[in-house]
């Protein structure tokens, strides 16, 4: 079968379009990463997973992917920061309760960057080619600001350097905020400066010799504007025109609009050929918020509630990225059941490959067909709902074939699971550290109780055996009896 055509919705053209890398079969893509002032939440990871699925789909088509995803470790003001004491996010992180454990804002950034990387690995997110940090690219940002001033696209005021949106005809082409009125509505007055020529002009450099993170520049001590980091990091690692840029829908305006303006005024070339944005995530039908008690990080779900990280991944990709997604704990439980099916199939296939009988391959053609359908669905604007359904259909075929499948069938099952894992990342953990930890659980005691229950059953003391099961149930520990004995897991 010929490779399917990879199509994705493009925010700029507002339609689903074929992804056509400038260099055939080599996708150069950039994803806006997190600001590392606290723990990233599942809404952030929902967005990062879209990029991961784009990378996996492209690789499944045989493409090479150069993926750059940054870490924002310079603080920037946001709307809520301004209404809340005018401290930027990094400073706020340092002055929070958790932040008091850190000597300075640099240590705080290091800490949360490492937690973010750990959570990424637990969710089977493929490592990007490079994960640059904004603070490692201050020099390039200063040079870019200087160049934009020189070529008439930016100007200096007593408080900073601003990009002049009127100097760039294309400003607003991504978000549609082109006319004066919509620009005025869309611009959140994060930086108020009477010297700005237009309210939508945005900062390339803020002069501030009191800021926690500051650098010396020809404009004086200060720090770069947020949008500039992605422009210079994308260009440094991927070239002047990139194939694809991804991020959350909240970044369309102003962040990505500003990236386009800066980049195209720096090079005179198109910045990016394809824009992909992930719609927002709700939890239990509500906006995720700490005060509502529906705010989850990966570590809340995995470390506190004992969820399998792969189930978290499954639940977060179960809805298509282009529609608002509703994450629920019931969805997570269902996902855990599905992950177990994949792992059950994998265990049976490994066993049958080693010890199974010789015989015909009963699974190959069915599973090959299902994998193709899975890949076709992913190429169809990342239709994860269909892709996961096809992958599950594969597990049903394997489970029907049974534990005693032939070696040839087992080889086909294994190949299917390998390819499915490559495409969707839901069969087995790909990096160390993916095993769910369950703090507060005394594993020794559980194992002792399981043994006692086994003995009770042998002695036909079913009342005692049931009592042990109920006791563990009440503690949230679920027992599973299988041919290999009894296993346990923590229920979400
Ligand atoms: Zn960015």
One domain for residues 266 and 406 = no
The pLDDT of residue 188:
59
Q: Which residues are annotated as a binding site?
A: 32, 230, 255, 259, 290
106 alpha carbon – ligand 1 mean position (Å): 20
One domain for residues 409 and 460 = no
149 alpha carbon – ligand 1 mean position (Å): 21
56 alpha carbon – ligand 1 mean position (Å): 21
For residue 103, give the nearest of 111, 73, 420, 484 by alpha carbon.
111
The pLDDT of residue 79:
47
Q: Helices H, strands E: what count in the chain?
A: 16, 15
One domain for residues 77 and 153 = yes
Q: For every one of its 492 residues, what pLDDT tens digit does the chain have, with 9 covering 90 and above?
A: 689 999 999 999 999 999 999 999 999 999 999 999 889 999 999 999 999 999 999 999 999 999 999 999 987 655 444 444 557 777 888 888 888 888 888 899 999 999 999 999 999 999 999 999 999 999 999 999 999 999 999 999 999 999 999 999 999 999 998 877 777 666 655 556 788 999 899 999 999 998 888 999 999 999 999 999 999 999 999 999 999 999 999 999 999 999 999 999 999 999 999 999 999 999 999 998 888 888 999 999 999 999 999 999 999 999 999 999 999 999 999 999 999 999 999 999 999 999 999 999 999 999 999 999 999 999 999 999 999 999 999 999 999 999 999 999 999 999 999 999 999 999 999 876 555 445 566 778 888 899 999 999 999 999 999 999 998 888 878 888 877 788 887 766
The pLDDT of residue 400:
96
One domain for residues 56 and 126 = yes
One domain for residues 212 and 293 = no
Q: Which residues are annotated as a binding site for ATP?
A: 290
339 alpha carbon – ligand 1 mean position (Å): 33
One domain for residues 178 and 316 = no
- Domain boundary pick from 278, 302, 332: 278
**Domain that residue 449 falls in:** 443-490
392-445 pLDDT, tens per residue? 999 999 999 999 999 999 999 999 999 999 999 999 998 765 554 455 667 788
Q: Report whether 453 contacts 465 (CB < 8 A).
A: yes
Asked, for residue 54, whether it belongs to a domain, the answer is yes
Residues in CB range of 194: below 8 A, 6 or more apart: none
Q: Report whether 215 contacts 139 (CB < 8 A).
A: no
Residue 390 host element (H or E): helix 384-401
One domain for residues 158 and 23 = yes
Q: Which residues are annotated as a binding site for Zn(2+)?
A: 32, 230, 255, 259
- Domain boundary pick from 278, 308, 342: 278
As a whole number of angstroms, the distance between CA 18 and CA 27 comes to: 13
Asked, for residue 434, whether it belongs to a domain, the answer is no
Q: Would you state the structure tokens that stand for residue 142, as one six-digit string?
A: 């200063």
255 alpha carbon – ligand 1 mean position (Å): 6
Asked, for residue 409, whether it belongs to a domain, the answer is yes
366 alpha carbon – ligand 1 mean position (Å): 43
Residue 202 host element (H or E): strand 202-207
For position 20, which CATH number holds? Answer: 3.40.50.620
6 alpha carbon – ligand 1 mean position (Å): 24
DSSP assignment letter at 338: H
One domain for residues 324 and 229 = no
233 alpha carbon – ligand 1 mean position (Å): 9
Asked, for residue 300, whether it belongs to a domain, the answer is yes
One domain for residues 215 and 338 = no
One domain for residues 45 and 168 = yes
The pLDDT of residue 82:
44
256 alpha carbon – ligand 1 mean position (Å): 7
For residue 249, give the nearest of 327, 315, 175 by alpha carbon.
175
pTM score, two decimals?
A: 0.88
350 alpha carbon – ligand 1 mean position (Å): 43
One domain for residues 460 and 380 = no
202 alpha carbon – ligand 1 mean position (Å): 14
Q: Report whether 43 contacts 288 (CB < 8 A).
A: yes
One domain for residues 161 and 296 = no
Around ion ligand 1, residues with a beta carbon closer than 5 Å are: 32, 230
Q: Count how many domains the chain has.
A: 3
Asked, for residue 268, whether it belongs to a domain, the answer is yes
32 alpha carbon – ligand 1 mean position (Å): 4
Mean model confidence pLDDT for the chain: 91
230 alpha carbon – ligand 1 mean position (Å): 5
The pLDDT of residue 15:
97
């Amino acid at each position: 079968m010929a490779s399917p055509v990879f199509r994705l919705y493009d925010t700029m053209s507002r339609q689903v379009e074929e992804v056509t890398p400038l260099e055939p079969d080599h996708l150069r893509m950039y994803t806006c990463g997190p600001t590392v002032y606290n723990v990233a939440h599942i809404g952030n990871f929902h967005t990062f997973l879209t990029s991961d699925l784009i990378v996996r789909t492209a690789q499944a088509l045989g493409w090479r992917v150069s993926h750059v995803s940054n870490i924002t470790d310079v603080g920037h003001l946001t709307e809520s920061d301004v209404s809340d004491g005018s401290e930027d996010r990094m400073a706020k992180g340092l002055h929070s309760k958790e932040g008091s454990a850190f000597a300075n804002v640099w240590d705080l950034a290091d800490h949360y960057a490492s937690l973010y990387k750990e959570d990424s690995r637990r969710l089977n997110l493929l490592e990007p080619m490079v994960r640059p940090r904004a603070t490692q690219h201050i020099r390039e940002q200063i040079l870019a600001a200087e160049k934009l001033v020189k070529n008439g696209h930016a100007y200096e005021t007593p408080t900073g350097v601003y990009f002049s949106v009127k100097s760039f005809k294309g400003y607003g082409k991504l978000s549609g905020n082109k006319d004066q009125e919509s620009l005025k509505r869309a611009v959140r007055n994060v930086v108020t400066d009477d010297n700005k020529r237009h309210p939508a002009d945005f900062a390339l450099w803020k002069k501030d010799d009191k800021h926690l993170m500051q650098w010396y520049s020809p404009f004086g001590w200060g720090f770069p504007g947020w949008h500039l980091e992605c422009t210079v990091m994308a260009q440094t690692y991927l070239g002047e025109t990139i194939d694809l840029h991804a991020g959350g829908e909240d970044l369309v305006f102003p962040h990505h609009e500003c990236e386009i303006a800066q980049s195209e005024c720096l090079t005179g070339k198109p910045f990016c050929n394809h824009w992909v944005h992930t719609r927002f995530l709700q939890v239990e039908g509500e906006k995720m918020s700490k005060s509502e008690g529906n705010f989850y990080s990966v570590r809340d779900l995995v470390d506190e509630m004992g969820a399998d990280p792969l189930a978290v991944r499954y639940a977060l990709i179960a809805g298509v990225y282009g529609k608002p997604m509703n994450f629920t704990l019931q969805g997570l439980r269902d996902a855990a059941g599905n992950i177990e099916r994949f792992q059950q199939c994998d265990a049976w296939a490994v066993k049958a490959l080693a010890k199974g009988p010789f015989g015909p391959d009963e699974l190959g053609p069915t599973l090959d067909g299902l994998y193709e359908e899975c890949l076709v669905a992913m190429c169809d604007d990342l239709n994860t709902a269909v892709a996961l359904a096809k992958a599950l259909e594969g597990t049903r075929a394997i489970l029907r074939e049974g534990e005693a499948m032939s070696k040839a069938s087992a080889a086909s099952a294994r190949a299917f699971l390998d390819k499915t894992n490559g495409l969707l990342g839901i069969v087995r953990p790909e990096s160390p550290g993916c095993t769910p930890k369950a703090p507060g659980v005394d594993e020794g005691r559980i194992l002792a109780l399981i043994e006692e229950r086994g003995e009770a059953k042998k002695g036909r003391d079913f009342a005692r055996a049931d009592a042990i099961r109920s006791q563990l149930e009440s503690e949230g520990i679920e027992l599973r009896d299988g041919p290999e004995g009894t296993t346990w897991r923590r229920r979400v």
